């Protein structure tokens, strides 16, 4: 079950990028490829990568999710600003 982390990363990428369909391909030697399906044709986006490198690559691809900031975090950040 090595590919669970990779599959989860691709699922997150598909959730945050509407209109795109990304696929994960596992090669015979355990390397991972990222492909994008465009109009029924698969377009290769990466070369064969190890698991950790693949997850890093997928997390950096596509639109990024804005970090969630609570009211308390915003108030604390406001207090940290030095007054001139």
Burial class (CB in 10 A: 0-12, 13-18, 19+), 5: middle
The domain spans of the chain are: 3-80
- Ordered mean pLDDT values, 10 residues apiece, the chain (84 residues): 83 90 92 91 90 93 86 90 71
pTM over cut 0.85: no
Packing angle of the helix pair 51-60, 3-16 (nearest 10 deg) = 10
- For residue 3, the model assigns a pLDDT of 75
């Amino acid at each position: 079950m090595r590919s669970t982390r990779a599959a989860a990363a691709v699922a997150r990428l598909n959730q945050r990028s509407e209109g795109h369909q990304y696929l994960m391909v596992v090669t015979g030697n355990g390397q991972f490829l990222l492909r994008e399906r465009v109009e029924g044709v698969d377009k290769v986006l990466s070369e064969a990568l190890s698991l950790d490198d693949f997850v890093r690559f997928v997390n950096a691809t596509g639109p990024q999710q804005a970090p969630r900031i609570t009211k308390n975090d915003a108030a604390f950040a406001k207090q940290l600003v030095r007054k001139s």
